[in-house]
Chain A
Amino acid sequence: MKPGGMSRILLIEDDPAVREGLELALSRHGHWVRAVESGEQGLDRLRADVPDVVVLDLMLPGMDGFEVCRRIRTTGDMPIIMLTARGDDIDVVAGLESGADDYVVKPVQPRVLEARIRAVLRRIGRDQAELERHGDLTIDRAALVVDKRGVPVSLAPTELRLLLVLSSTPGRVHSRQQLLESVWEHGYFGDSRLVDACVQRLRAKIEDDSAAPVYLQTVRGFGYRFGPV
């Protein structure tokens, strides 16, 4: 996929009008959209033809969005953008904890959703830099691979980008606002819970003890810092 170009989108949304409206709007901008109405159908489709990104409504009949989200996460590192009802903060937090990369509040403006999809899919620039070692962690910025004690760590695209941004300047504090702009391409007023949730997920994957992080350290009141290890 080229930036701004066509992407393959799997839309899981139970309301027919919303489903049709979003399908219409996204297809019109040249995306390939596969729309299904339940989580079960969505997981089936995921196996049949692998999309670039999943747009997932959280409130689904049968298997709910959180469960779908968790299942997609166990099978791969597919980017997931969830659709949430406005004001349902608990849903946002639970959705992010289930592994979603970003969220959009309904009613959705297609161009906002498109911008988020683009941000999630933006190809991470590969450097020619050598292998970086930070403690037990090896980061290969050319191959976009992260190893921990020689074992590859499976990271979702947002998690990888967050780790690359933070680890590029070990010891420097990044505010949540800065991270929202550089990793999620949100404006200054994005939801800082995106950062917190992603840091939590990342810690679970690379830290020995999430409660006493070595790599991803919280600087209370300011943001996050990588190491120094």
Chain B
Amino acid sequence: MTPLGLRARLLFAFALLCVVTAAAVAGGSYVQARNDILRRTQDAAVQAMTSRLQALYPLPTTDPDREELAEIAEAAADRFSLSVAVHGGLRAPVPPPQPPPPGGEGPGLEAPMQALLMVSPELGQAVAGGNTAWQRVVWQDRPWLIVGMPLLVTEPGLPPQPSGIEVYVARSLLAEKRSIDELARRAWLTGGAALAFAVVLASLATRGVLGPVRELGRAARLLGEGELRTRIEVRGSDELADVARTFNDTAAELERHVEQLRAMEADARRFVADVSHELRTPLAALAAVADVLDEEAARLPDPAARAARLVSQETHNLTALVNDLIEVSRFDAGVAALALNDIDVAELVRATLRARGWPERVDAELPSGVTARLDPRRVDVILANLVGNALRHGEPPVSVRLSADPEWIELEVRDHGPGLDEKVLPHVFDRFYKAGAARTRSEGNGLGLAIARENARLHQGDITVTNAEDGGAVFTLRLPRRASDPEGGPA
């Protein structure tokens, strides 16, 4: 399991891709445009200032007083900017004593005067070195371009020398800032729109992918639950369609195999049923005369007498086996039906024990007044088998204990022998399961417990087996007190 679903991961990837692309494209052009705008403004400002100052040459003096400095400053400024000229400790014009009130409207030319007074040392140095320099500052939340330019003295035969007079011009960049902000806003807008578009696209794409995936998951689950007819509609010819086609092929193959196995199993079971039924008629004739042989045995000479008894005995065993096989076939074919009746359970258990002469050999703990809706014949078959097994294989005392709650009755049949081998426990209800070589045919035909369990399950109950801690096998028969009538006959 991944912490995020496929859908979330796909959406995230799409969004990330879009953000990166938008940032690269919009961000890149934003930076480019911003730089262009600023450079052009700077160039224009420097150009304008240079040409205006050119008009001052030749300098009337290299040691101006305040008035002259003010003239120089005035010459350097235009109507979009303001300026200050500096020479030594002199400044002109003198700045107003206080900054304007914050939030004042308009360009407010007084404010930059303050800024001009705070020309950074780097700019000051560059200008003092005879170079034209500029700097962008933010003053009172407004961007300003400050250009500093030294006035030069030219003497023939010598390179131009700084005259010591410096002029600083401040130009508002508010308009430019607005353009740049507008650019940025558009970049964000475009990016956002692209992102929204990408998310929509991603949703569509994930639906296109996840729909089939989800369908595949549902189909696989159904298949696992035994719905072997499950198929997927194949759409398009992409990889998902390939997967769907593979799934369908696999399901078809699986269905074919299972059908084959079922058919084989049904054939095998039908064969057993047919054989059992075919055996019934000759057995009926044999059974009819077996008693005659048995009764005549006393009057026969020895080898013939023993042979007669053997034939009679084995006829009875064979009859029992065929009867059990037919019973099992009926369970397999699903035609075994319950004949339900309200029964006093204690009375039923006593009748089972009485019918087989066991009351003296079995400790029965049977509280009276427990009634349940059961098929008495089938419960008799179960009990006779469990108690018979306990008497044959276990050690006395053998006990039968009845308990009940409002929903269920429980009959516990227990002996005090060595119990069952742990390896045998899971198989005791298997048909013809042979618990080791010690098992002999006289102990039953190997179908008794299988039939007992089928009978319990027909009641929607069950039989379980465990070994008691102090020795002995414990078979527990649990039956619902109100087994439902299988409507419409066979259940």
Query: B191 on the interface (CB 8 Å rule)?
Result: no
In the bound complex, residues from chain B placing their C-beta under 8 Å from that of A110 are: 288, 291-292
Q: Given that A110-B291, A187-B351, A189-B377 are contacting pairs, would A221 and B342 also be in contact in the complex, using a CB cutoff of 8 Å? A: yes
Most buried by B among A20, A21, A221: A21
Q: Is the CB of A15 within 8 A of B281?
A: yes
Determine which residue in A22, A106, A191 has the highest number of CB atoms from chain B within 10 A of its CB, and name it: A106
Of all chain B residues, which has the CB nearest A193? B339
- Given known A-B contacts A107-B319, A193-B339, A188 and B291 have beta carbons under 8 A apart: no
- B327 CB contacts on chain A under 8 angstroms: 86-87
Known contacts: A189-B355, A189-B376. The answer to whether A107 contacts B283 by CB under 8 A is yes
In the complex formed, the residue of A with least CB distance to B327 is A87
Q: Which A residues touch B284, using CB under 8 A? A: 15, 17-18, 21, 106-108
Total number of B residues with any Cβ neighbor in A under 8 Å: 38
Residues of chain B lying within 8 A (CB to CB) of residue A177: 341, 343, 376
Q: How far is the CB of B202 from chain A (nearest CB, A)?
A: 65
Is A192 in contact with B339, judged by CB distance below 8 angstroms?
A: yes
A214: CB under 8 A from chain B? no
**Closest residue on chain A to residue B354 by CB atoms:** A188
Q: Mark B296-325, 1 if CB is under 8 A from A, else 0.
A: 000000000000000000000001001100
- The contact string, 1 if C-beta is below 8 Å from chain A, for chain B 316-358, is 0001001100110110000101010111000110011011000
Task: Tell me which residues from 344 to 375 in chain B have a Cβ below 8 Å from any Cβ of chain A.
Answer: 347-348, 351-352, 354-355, 373
Q: Is the CB of A24 within 8 A of B376?
A: no
Cβ proximity bits A174-193 to B, threshold 8 Å, 1 near / 0 not = 01110000000001110111
A71 at the interface (CB under 8 A from B): no
* Contacting residues, chain A, for B170 (C-beta < 8 A): none
Complex interface bits, A59-89 against B, C-beta within 8 A gives 1, otherwise 0? 0000000000000000000000000011101
Contact check, A107 vs B286: say whether CB atoms are below 8 A apart. Answer: yes
- Inter-chain CA distance A91–B264, complex, in Å, is 29
With an 8 Å Cβ cutoff, the count of chain A residues facing the other chain is 30
B483 sits at the interface (CB 8 A): no
CB contact under 8 A between A86 and B341, given known A18-B285, A187-B351, A189-B376: no
Whether B339 and A24, one on each chain, are in contact in the complex, defined by CB atoms closer than 8 angstroms, is: no
- Does A111 reach chain B (CB closer than 8 Å)? yes
Tell me the complex Cα distance, A148–B326, Å: 45
Chain B residue at minimal CB-CB distance from A21: B288
Determine the chain A residues whose CB is within 8 A of the CB of B354 once the complex forms: 188
Closest to A105 in B: B323
Cβ proximity bits A7-45 to B, threshold 8 Å, 1 near / 0 not: 000000001011011101100100000000000000000
Is A107 touching B280 in the complex (CB atoms < 8 A)? yes
Establish whether residues A107 and B322, one from each chain, have CB atoms under 8 Å apart when the complex forms. yes
Q: Is the interface of B mostly helix, strand, loop or mixed?
A: helix
* Chain A window 150-181, contacts with chain B (Cβ cutoff 8 Å), 1 for yes, 0 for no: 00000000000000000000000001110000
Are the CB atoms of A86 and B288 closer together than 8 Å?
no
* Contact for B330 among A17, A87, A108, A192, CB less than 8 A: A87
Taking a contact as CB atoms under 8 Å apart, the answer to whether A18 and B351 are in contact is no
How many angstroms from the CA of A140 to the CA of B193 in the assembled complex?
A: 105
Whether B348 pairs with A188 at a CB distance below 8 angstroms is yes
CB A37 to nearest CB in B, in angstroms, measures 14
The answer on a CB contact under 8 Å between B376 and A21 is no
Answer whether residue B282 sits at the interface, using C-beta atoms and an 8 A cutoff: yes
**For residue A18, which residues in chain B have a CB less than 8 angstroms away from its CB?**
281, 284-285, 288
B277 at interface by CB-CB < 8 Å: yes
Complex Cα distance, B355 from A4, in Å, reads 22
Contact B285 A85 (CB under 8 A): no
Of the candidates A24, A86, A111, A187, the one whose C-beta lies within 8 Å of that of B289 is A24
Partner of A17, one of B282, B343, B352, B376: B282
The smallest C-beta distance from B131 to any residue of chain A, in angstroms, reads 117
A21 to B326, CA, bound (A): 22
Establish whether residues A108 and B287, one from each chain, have CB atoms under 8 Å apart when the complex forms: yes
B380 within 8 A of A: yes
Per the 8 Å Cβ criterion, residues 101-156 of A in contact with B are: 106-111
Residues of B at under 8 Å CB distance from A?
Answer: 277, 280-292, 295, 319, 322-323, 326-327, 329-330, 335, 337, 339, 341-343, 347-348, 351-352, 354-355, 373, 376-377, 380
User: Can you list 6 A-B contacts (CB < 8 A)?
Assistant: A17-B285, A106-B280, A107-B322, A107-B323, A108-B288, A188-B347
Task: A17-B284, A177-B376, A188-B376 are known; give 9 further A-B pairs, CB within 8 A.
Answer: A21-B284, A24-B288, A89-B337, A106-B280, A107-B280, A107-B283, A111-B291, A189-B355, A189-B380
